Homo-oligomer: A and B are copies of this chain.
């Protein structure tokens, strides 16, 4: 594993032997490598050829189902019929941009803002989380006149140049500029829970001082409300509060990245930031918003949007188009009508409890943590030393894939299993996962 590739915990190695692939997948892979550029990566030692999806299942070319315990984008289920119908209906009626009046985007914007605290009363739509992060940064910098950012050490916020500059998880060849300072994320397994809030605020204070020493003023703190790529650091809820106070005292903006926690993922409500009892100045939404149709958003208040809007403006041809909006509306319908947030809380709680029970005496499991349908299993060499074991995580990811269960790994050391299924993941899916996980654990050797 080369140093570059370590930064994607779970990628297919194109130089590996292909004998394990079914012939049709091997042929498709050959064609793919010819025509898609080198930036593309596949998951797993044995890549999956996906031909059909349904609920929490993905089917391969031979018709075998694979349990999807990874994909957060199809939150209301693969091939969701309500999303399909809403998109098809709208495509037969109108699809245009926001320089005409169209009621669809206004209806949805009203519905979306109503799910936020009253101060977050306006929205600007984009196509991807990256675009939304990029725009939120531009708005913040225009408003504050500063360009210094604090982000966590293994953060991922996107792939435009501006978003990549605040995404150290992209690896050593993605340079982090001097006006971006990395702050160690909380580490639930290794830090004293009682001190996490104070310690993180102290690191943020230090970060602002580092920016100052570099001659840069603070624009803001950009942070994923559940620290997905820093290994899912959730508790104690509230650890973010003092850091946000520090940022506000220094005139900075608190920009909440809700691309991962948003839309009910954590089972505690629509968004992740309220768990910390904090009030973001701007919020970025993405991934599950349209169940796979490209749509994202920046939520904010007129005091932040107005000057940028008046002086600079922003137009994005595809953003807020009625078709992607129709998908996003259907997603809200599904989450509400099927009670998917309490469902995520309940199934997630069961999964968490059972995983803890299953691994209670397993020295290789440092911690099982989670909220709703976002669960992390942290692999260590032993519980006393708590040294990260990325090899064990990679083994389990690939062993589960052979057992037709799809997960991935994340975290600064690549040793944290990431369980993040569609929200329609039910108890029967949880049972299947637990059975296969138990079997995979049983073939995982002692730390090597």
What residues make up the interface of A, taking CB atoms closer than 8 Å to B?
4, 8, 25, 28-29, 31-32, 34-43, 47-53, 58, 71, 73-74, 78-79, 81, 83-84, 87-88, 91-103, 105-106, 109-110, 113, 121-124, 127-131, 134-135, 137-138, 159-162, 164, 170-171, 173-174, 286-287, 291-294, 298, 300, 302, 305-321, 323-324
Quick one: which of B40, B95, B162, B164 contacts A292, CB cutoff 8 A? B95
Q: Are A294 and B309 in contact (CB under 8 A)?
A: no
- CB of B127 within 8 A of CB of A305, answer no
Q: Which residues of chain B have C-beta atoms less than 8 A from A93's C-beta?
A: 51-53, 79
- Chain B residues with CB under 8 A of A37: 122-124, 298, 300, 302, 305, 309
Across the A-B interface, the 9 shortest Cβ-Cβ residue pairs: A38-B309, A39-B314, A37-B305, A88-B88, A294-B318, A39-B309, A173-B311, A294-B294, A49-B101
In the assembled complex, how far is the CB of residue A381 from the closest CB belonging to chain B, in whole angstroms? 28
Asked whether A127 lies within 8 Å of B127 as measured between CB atoms, the reply is yes
Q: How many copies of this protein are present in the complex? A: 2
Contact between chains at B100 and A40 (CB < 8 Å): no
Asked if A35 and B130 make an inter-chain contact with CB atoms under 8 angstroms apart, the answer reads no
Which of chain B's residues have a CB closer than 8 A to the CB of A50? Answer: 94, 96, 100-102
Q: How far is the CB of A324 from chain B (nearest CB, A)?
A: 7
Q: Give every chain B residue within 8 A of A170 (Cβ-Cβ).
A: 312-313
Q: Considering the chains assembled together, what is the distance between the CA atoms of A394 and B311 in angstroms?
A: 21
The residue that A39 contacts in the complex, of B31, B131, B313, B323, with Cβ under 8 A, is B313
B-chain residues with CB within 8 Å of residue A25 when the two chains form the complex: 101
Q: Among the listed B121, B160, B291, which residue makes an inter-chain contact with A161, where contact means beta carbons less than 8 Å apart?
A: B160
Q: Whole-angstrom distance between the alpha carbons of A163 and B361 in the complex?
A: 53
A102, A308, A318 interface centre (most CB from chain B within 10 Å): A318
Measured between alpha carbons, how far is A314 from B164 in the docked complex, in Å?
Answer: 10
Q: Are A94's CB and B73's CB within 8 A?
A: no
For A298, list chain B residues within 8 Å (CB): 37
Q: In the complex, what residue of chain B is closest to A96 when comparing beta carbons?
A: B50
Cα distance A87–B321 when bound, in Å?
15
- Additional A-B contacts beyond A25-B101, A42-B100 (16; CB < 8 A): A28-B103, A32-B105, A37-B298, A37-B302, A38-B309, A39-B308, A42-B99, A49-B102, A50-B101, A52-B94, A53-B95, A58-B100, A88-B88, A95-B292, A131-B160, A160-B160
The answer, among B41, B95, B102, B103, for a CB contact under 8 Å with A315, is B41
Given contacts A42-B99, A95-B74, A173-B311, contact A317 B129 (CB under 8 A): yes
- Of chain B, the residue at the smallest CB distance from A287 is B317
Closest-CB distance, A60 to chain B (whole angstroms): 9
Chain B residues within 8 Å of A305, by CB: 37-39
B73 touches A97 (CB 8 A): yes
Complex Cα–Cα for A326 and B79 (A): 15
Instruction: Flag if B39 contacts A113 (CB, 8 Å).
Output: no
Given contact pairs A122-B35, A305-B37, A311-B173, A92 touches B84 in the complex (Cβ within 8 A) = yes
A-B contact pairs, 23 of them (CB 8 A): A4-B311, A28-B101, A37-B124, A38-B122, A38-B307, A38-B308, A39-B124, A39-B313, A39-B314, A43-B99, A48-B100, A50-B94, A51-B102, A58-B96, A58-B100, A87-B91, A127-B131, A128-B317, A131-B131, A134-B161, A174-B312, A292-B321, A293-B293
Assembly CA distance A112 to B106 (angstroms): 36
Q: Judging by beta carbons under 8 Å apart, are B36 and A124 in contact? A: yes
